[in-house]
Chains A and B, each alone.
Chain A
Amino acid sequence: MERIEVGKELVRKLVDGTISDQDVLRLQNSYKDDDRFNKYVEVLQERVKWKDRILMRISDNVYIVQKEKSGEIISKCTCGHDFFDYRTNWKLGCLINVRKTLKEMSEVYSPEPACPEPEWQEIREFYCPDCGAQLAVEVLPPGYPVMFEFLADIPGFYREYLGTPLTPEKKYECQDKSLELTKTWGKEI
């Protein structure tokens, strides 16, 4: 095990996918750099076209940001589309394509016997409503609730791991608020 220098340029290559296999191996075999998160967020911030402060990246194209003007903490797509408060499952704000038949499933699974079984499973693809990026895929039985893959404890992370508590902290305490949204949907019916 060694301690190597991990500069911002190497982190950029990791994010871009241009890093060499040798460098990946070196990163895997070395002590972790203490400031990786900060370098990572800097690289990400330089790449996005918007000014909201990136607090965390939770998926290839989904970020948790603090809105520049309002200070709200929300989920956001790379393209700039704003989802909800970060504690509400951003998938609920997407467009959805559901593959139910063998024909639809065999566009993304092959050979044909590899396709999930219609009626036992469906393939749900979640897209950003603005840019159409495929942000998530679920393969679940019909009738299963949409899953919240990752609710980051943003205040906890900033306070305990980075030592730089966010303000306001209590207002954004980590708890799943997704069911509040489906409740409002239910009231509209």
Chain B
Amino acid sequence: MQTTEILSRKASLRELVAARDKLTEKTGRYFGLERLRAREEDPIKFERFYSEIHNLVLRARESARFVAASPGGREMGESLWSICTPEGDTLANSLGFLTHMVAYKQCIKYMAEAGFEDNPGIRDGDIFATDDGAIGGAPHPGDTYSYMPIFVEDEIVGWAAAVNHVMEAGAPVAGSWPGFSVDTTMDGLVFPPMKVGENRTPATWWNQLWMSRTRAGIFNVLDDKMRLAGNVIIVDGIRKIVADYGLDYYRRAIREIIEFSRRVIQDNIKITTVPGIFSGASFRVVKYKGLSKLWPHADKDYMLASNMTVKFGTDQKITGDFTGTSRWDYCAFNGYPSGADIGFQLPIAFNYLHNTYVTSAILCDFKSRYPKGSTYNPDTNFAAYSNIWAQSIAMSASHWNCHSRSMFARGFLEESFTVDGVWGGVQGGGRLDDGQSYGFTNFEMVGGVAQGAFPFKDGIPIAYALWTQLTNIGNVEEWEFLIPPMFYLGRTLVADYCGHGKFRGGVGLSSVHLILEPGKDLYMSRGGSGGSQTTHVALGQSGGYPTPGTIYTAIRNSNLLEKVQQGMPYPRSMVECLDYLKEKKFEAEDVQVFKYDPPQLEMKHGDIFSDCAGGSGGWGDPLERNPQLVIADLNDGWVTERLANSCYGVVAKKVVQGADTIYVLDEAGTSARRTEIRAQRLACLTVKDWWKQERLRVKNKQLIEPVAYTLQSSFETETGPEYKKMFIDFWQLDDNFEF
């Protein structure tokens, strides 16, 4: 089969997918394209062609998003519209979380190979949708995809694709990232790729399905209409482009767009990076013990390890090997390869897809290898995948930090920063006084987290989100309007709450939600990256610390509301809530601080639910931090005096300046303190001596059960034996060692 031949005629989707795969693999060029004839013959026309396509998807989002009722779709970056080739490769994206184009490729390939053209048939005006992980490519059921084929006469010339993160997934645990799930039957409303509408109209049963099976039916239906509105703009726009440029040109040019961007990505990698082998890891706590007697196989505490070795070849091909990652388990946080790749590909997309078209060419030369049986590649389609993001964002951050290290080595420090930002969303469901059921997700701490430190400057709070360009935590008033029982007493940055270093990460945020008049009942939980039992990622950068995980507090049966009504100043953050309790400014019968996912909690009028999230990681040795920067941090409230001393070795004194009392540097005190810390460091054990004593601990299995379980789990995937061998060789244990 030749490229020119298949691109010069109408072909079935099945033929096109097969041709794309075979020709790309055989030649190393996308669709076997050696010469980019359309581009060479008239580059201006080619650019104009692309601009028109790109313009369409940008316009699609900017118009369609106002159909949604949810801020997630409307203002924040939790959505995407794209235009794909007939075989599912993405040509252009709107603003939004653009690596979801990985899922489009998987889903369209499935529909082609499963014979959708025959059964159920694909016609002009059809609407297809999915949130399935194993087949449809979705990361979790909270992310719902809509597809419309683009016909010119009777030929499919492309797909309009849209995805957004919906308000409520319809699982036993309310919200869009259920934190407790035993297998996929508990993931909520899950559906494989299916036809859900014809003639540009969603079927009546489709809308009813959302209303019947999720707690935020109206929001979810409006999200569906939002996706449709954008897709219709794309379909009509592409038809006009084909009419203007001609079908022959169109067929050729859309594939050249992808091959051209593939080559530019390769160039960008060669210009900005250093080849080598990088590693990264993160650990996601699963605290299910005691949550339920019905599923004894899920009744345990452990961690899911994400372990990666990323090879940057001298041929600019990048491979991520996940040997050492845990086996999948009976918990909500597994995923499937396509969904995992949406995370894995983030650093590729955001580091190298510049000076070119933003396409799915990233999928050509950058591959992940998830061992079969692992949490990203279960050897069953029944594994739960309610919230792969619970661990895949940390996995993505670990991968991204490898790229930061590579660019640092190359000298591009301006591109090199600690990518590390813990996120989370408060979610729940209940019944209002009139009996109306509802469910919700507050996307606040998904919208933005701190940016991590660069090798030459501090990070910035609420400035960044590694999954989207549209950093936006949403307006408090809007969240209160949408989720009336959650009233904000405060929303403020939290001193010290970041990874420290010569340059520290941006500090994180805390919101204090006071529950008011919830009605008949209200149950709340959260979804997000790991709690603070672990750091977000395992490896700090250049001697700096990775960011701490998220923290949640539930304060119930208290007299806080009464005190506030009597004029007590509001506690504005989780830290202030806990300080007030310590100082007995108010009292509570039930105070819980969670360093892991809280189970679903019943919340009543006057209760408090508060969080800390969104900190980011540091860079470099804290002892090398300029003491005056620490003093500035003290005066700005970014760090406390205690931490300034213990972590940075900086001693401050207070002086009165007019009406204010400020911190100034105690130079002698700081010099002495730093000398003391350095002396303590130099008195530490060598790694060799530490290894000798730790080896005995491992050999004698003196590890707590969750840690031993996690390690053993890493040995039990398809490539687990390789990891086990490395483990045994590192600690010099017997070959038959087991936990």
Binding site for B on A (CB under 8 A): 1, 11, 14-17, 19, 21, 24, 27-28, 31-32, 34, 36-37, 39-41, 56-61, 91-98, 106-111, 113-117, 119-121, 123, 125-127, 129, 132-153, 156-157, 159-161, 174, 176, 178-179, 182-183, 185-186, 189
Contacts and interface: CB of A to CB of B under 8 A. Distances in A.
A108 B542 contact: no
B539 A147 contact: yes
B350 to A, nearest CB: 12
Interface residues of B, number: 101
Given A37-B411, A182-B729, A108 B545 contact: yes
Contacts of A123: 545
Shortest Cβ-Cβ A-B pairs, 9 listed: A186-B732, A40-B411, A137-B540, A110-B496, A114-B548, A17-B456, A107-B646, A60-B542, A117-B533
A15 B455 CA distance: 8
A145 B727 contact: yes
Interface in B536-578: 538-540, 542-546, 548-549, 551, 575, 578
B277 A15 contact: no
Contacts of A174: 276-277
Given A127-B682, A185-B688, A135 B543 contact: yes
A107 to B, nearest CB: 4
Given A179-B726, A185-B688, A36 B412 contact: yes
Nearest to B542: A60
13 contacts: A14-B456, A31-B355, A58-B408, A92-B691, A95-B685, A111-B578, A114-B615, A120-B706, A127-B684, A142-B707, A153-B277, A157-B274, A178-B730
Secondary structure class of chain A's binding surface, majority of residues: mixed
Given A36-B410, A37-B410, A133-B621, A151 B277 contact: yes
Interface stretch (B69-77, B136-144, B278-286): B278-286
Contacts of B543: 59-61, 133-137
A135 B615 CA distance: 22
A161 B685 CA distance: 40
Contact of B455 (A60, A115, A134): A60
Given A60-B621, A107-B646, A156-B314, A116 B729 contact: no
B734 to A, nearest CB: 11
Nearest to B725: A179
A109 B729 CA distance: 33
A126 B691 CA distance: 13
Contact of A108 (B276, B619, B646): B646
Contacts of A150: 276-279, 402, 405-406, 409
B413 A1 contact: no
A88 B534 CA distance: 28
A186 B729 CA distance: 9
Interface stretch (B23-31, B173-181, B461-469, B696-704): B696-704
Contacts of A17: 455-457, 503
B692 A134 contact: no
B624 to A, nearest CB: 7
Given A95-B685, A108-B647, A113-B532, A161 B623 contact: no
Interface in B670-702: 678-682, 684-688, 690-692, 694-695, 697-698
A137 B544 contact: yes
Given A139-B538, A141-B283, 13 more contacts: A31-B355, A107-B643, A114-B551, A119-B704, A132-B678, A137-B539, A137-B540, A137-B545, A142-B707, A145-B726, A150-B409, A153-B314, A189-B732
A120 B303 contact: yes
Nearest to B645: A107
Contacts of A31: 355
B534 A161 contact: no
A157 B687 CA distance: 30
Contacts of B729: 179, 182-183
Contacts of B544: 137
B414 A28 contact: yes
A182 B533 contact: no
Contacts of A182: 691, 729-732
A36 B415 CA distance: 13
B271 interface: yes
A147 B640 CA distance: 32
Nearest to B355: A1
B413 A116 contact: no
A39 B496 contact: no
B316 to A, nearest CB: 9
Contacts of A179: 726, 729-730
A189 B699 CA distance: 13
Contact of A92 (B494, B502, B548, B688): B688
A7 B622 CA distance: 29
Contacts of A16: 456
Interface string B638-661: 001011001100000000000000
